[in-house]
Amino acid sequence: QCAIGDSYADYDKAFTADQSVSGVADTWDQPLRGNFNQLRELKAKYPNIKILWSFGGWTWSGGFAQAAANPTAFAQSCYNLVEDPRWADVFDGIDIDWEYPNACGLSCDTSGAAAYKNLMQALRAKFGTNNLVTAATTADGTSGGKIDAADYAGASQYVDWYNVMSYDFFGAFNAQGPTAPHSPLTSYSGIPTPGFTTADAIAKFKAKGVPASKLLIGIGFYGRGWTGV
């Protein structure tokens, strides 16, 4: 089920005046503090901003197999949390960062190719059309890779857009190299893994039937480095 990751940071931590978006310090007895209240203040300052609650990620994707076993119950738990009366006015929808459906990330999933579509369908059914439903996706454009493992095309009808994680193709997490740009836009001679480029990922999604209008390219504003190679 969807759950709070850090309750102290999310809604309990008191911000000082110099830390606060509004420039006003939190009080000890106000109903909502923490990052959620800062997001509320940000929204008051910029009313057109859209704020999504993202669940999963590299570290916390292990529970999606259980979620896939009962998508309706999972969607209900997410809706109850996102629409909690304490912060219902803060969030405009939900983002799912499943790493990775029917494939391996930090943990491996064997829910099957249809599980992703079923999960997104349940989320859309629960959140309706007045909320945003988005997802962070793999950018593995290799043959037989992670894009091939799940029904991203079928699920695309239920999402407003996909946030394609077209970065960290290469990095020091491969301690011995080979060294390479961490987010190459296109392929080049000698690329260590053919298909590990933004262009290949987008082309594969489109070839599978995901509308181009629902594909957002991820850009990493940072560099990667190696030592001892």
To the query of whether residue 99 is one of the catalytic residues in this protein, the response is yes
CA distance 172 to 182: 10
CA distance 150 to 114: 6
CA distance 134 to 120: 9
- Tokens representing 108? 């491996």
Q: Which of 10, 97, 99, 200 is catalytic?
A: 99
CA distance 83 to 66: 22
Query: CA 102, 75, 85 angle in degrees (round to 5)?
Result: 145
Do 125 and 85 form a contact (C-beta atoms < 8 A)? Answer: no
Name the nearest CA neighbour of 135 among 39, 216, 29.
216
- Identity of the amino acid at 44: A
| Bridging pattern class, strands 93-97 and 52-56 | parallel
**Residues recognised as catalytic:** 99
